[in-house]
Structures are given as C-alpha cells and as structure tokens.
Amino acid sequence: MSRANIPSRWRTALVILATANAVALCLQPLLAILFLNGFHSAFPIHGAGARTAATLAFLCGIVATLTERQGITPKWLSLAFFVQFLVDALQFKLGETAFREIHFLLGILLLIGGWALAVRVCRQPLPPT
C-alpha cells in the first residue's frame, strides 16, 4: 500500500483507539479495588479489561505504523504502542500468577504511559494539506 492510498482518517482512528486504550487502563485499578474489597465477580471483568487494553495497544501500534508512513506521527510512536502491548501482556501473566507487587507496579506504569501516549496522539498536529 503506497502512501497515497492510506486514507487520512487513520489519524482519527488512532486518536479514538489511543483514548479508548487510556480509558480501559483507567478502569483496571477500579476493578482491582472492587475485587480486593470482596466483590469477587469483578475478577473476570478485570481480566477481560486487561485483554481489551492489550488488544487496543496492539491496534494502536498498527494504526500508528500506518500514520507514520503518511508522515503524520513520529516514528517512535508505533514502537511505544508495541512496547505497551508487551508490558500489558507481561502484567497480565504476572497478575494470573499472583506476583502482586510487580503486577501493581507495572499497572501504575501502564496507566501513566497509556495516558501519556493518548495525550501525545491527541495533541499531534495535522500535517499540512
């Protein structure tokens, strides 16, 4: 696919996906608090939220790669989303194996990093037409 064939609405898709990713990451601590306070039916929802956040990070990486080829986003952005995907997958596995301390630390880093990436994507200026 050449640069001329990539529609400009990919940037809008990236903004939507990055924002949804940041919101999904924000819901994770709330679901964890519910689970830790005895609302045990929140645990499967917490796991589903982790899979959703990881999937959104992966999709953001793909769309960021497409917009990077258009010259809309910087080259490091797609790599940052793929790193976030890998950290998300690692954190998910650590949560399943009860390494809570590392799981909590990675969760905080993911929350901060996800919001920083979303802000960076949303503040990215449009290229001149």
- From first to last of the 129 residues of the chain, give the pLDDT tens digit: 445 555 668 888 999 999 999 999 999 999 889 988 988 888 889 889 999 999 999 999 999 999 888 888 888 999 999 999 999 999 988 888 878 888 889 999 999 999 999 998 888 766 555
Q: What is the pLDDT of residue 64?
A: 92
Q: What is the pLDDT of residue 84?
A: 94
Q: What is the pLDDT of residue 100?
A: 81
Q: What is the pLDDT of residue 69?
A: 86
Q: What tokens does 108 get?
A: 């905080």
Q: What is the pLDDT of residue 21?
A: 94
Sign of CA dihedral 19, 21, 22, 27: positive
CA distance 64 to 62: 5
Q: For residue 2, is it within any domain?
A: no
Q: What tokens does 65 get?
A: 């790669």
Q: What tokens does 1 get?
A: 């696919």
Q: For residue 33, is it within any domain?
A: yes
Q: What is the pLDDT of residue 7?
A: 60
Q: For residue 128, is it within any domain?
A: no
| Long-range CB contact pairs, 1-7, < 8 A, 24+ | 3/69, 3/70, 3/71, 6/66, 6/67, 6/69, 6/70
Q: What tokens does 120 get?
A: 């960076």
CA-nearest of 118, 116, 114 to 49 is 114
Q: For residue 91, is it within any domain?
A: yes
Range of the domain at 98: 9-122
Q: What is the pLDDT of residue 12?
A: 87
**pTM for this prediction:** 0.85
Please state the domain count of the chain. 1
Burial class (CB in 10 A: 0-12, 13-18, 19+), 67: buried
Q: What is the pLDDT of residue 1?
A: 47
